[in-house]
Amino acid sequence: MNEICQQAETFLNETLSEMRFDLSVSSKWTDEGCLLDMSGEDVSFLLAENGEMLDAFETLLFQIFGRNLEREHRFICDADGFRRTRKAELQAMARFAAENVRKTSRPFTFGVLNSTERRIIHLSLQKEEDLLTESVGNGRDRRLQVRLK
């Protein structure tokens, strides 16, 4: 396993223990980067507000250990398959947007998505030769747009 991934797992286990959460972390290295899976009695806290705490842990890990990761890799915090399910939803949304753009010839703009969610849609549609995906806007108002090339 990647050493950075092991360090991130240790850090999260210690942090969660200090915060008195009943959670444990296991990690594994994947093509996307370091997947940190959390389980335990307090999983509901991680999943509240659409997984906001998972996002916060990813940001924290990237700030601490991100310099040691190659550009194409990320820290992915998950609990109860939340990220896997969300990824499948986003891929379905990408297919829907692609069909819509092809039918109407008009751009399709998604609502607010975080950078990881926008990236999943970009990657889902990158091989579509007739479509272009682009992030538009600034800061928290950033949106993803799909349009014909």
Query: What tens digit of pLDDT does each residue of 53-66 get?
Result: 999 999 999 999 98
The rounded distance, in Å, linking the Cα atoms of 117 and 100 is 19
Who has greater pLDDT, 138 or 85?
A: 85
- What does the pLDDT look like over 44-94, one tens digit per residue? 999 999 899 999 999 999 999 988 888 889 999 999 999 989 999 999 999
Domain that holds residue 48: 3-80
Residues 6+ apart with CB under 8 A from 88: none
Measured between alpha carbons, how far is residue 89 from residues 2, 46, 83, 93 in Å? 29, 19, 10, 6
What predicted TM-score, i.e. pTM, was given to this entire model?
A: 0.79
- Whether 121 and 61 map to the same domain: the answer is no
Phi, psi of 35 (to 5 degrees): -95, 120
Instruction: Judge if 34 and 59 occupy the same domain.
Output: yes
Distances (CA, A) of 130 to 36, 41, 126: 36, 47, 10
- List the CATH number of the domain containing 21: 3.30.300.20
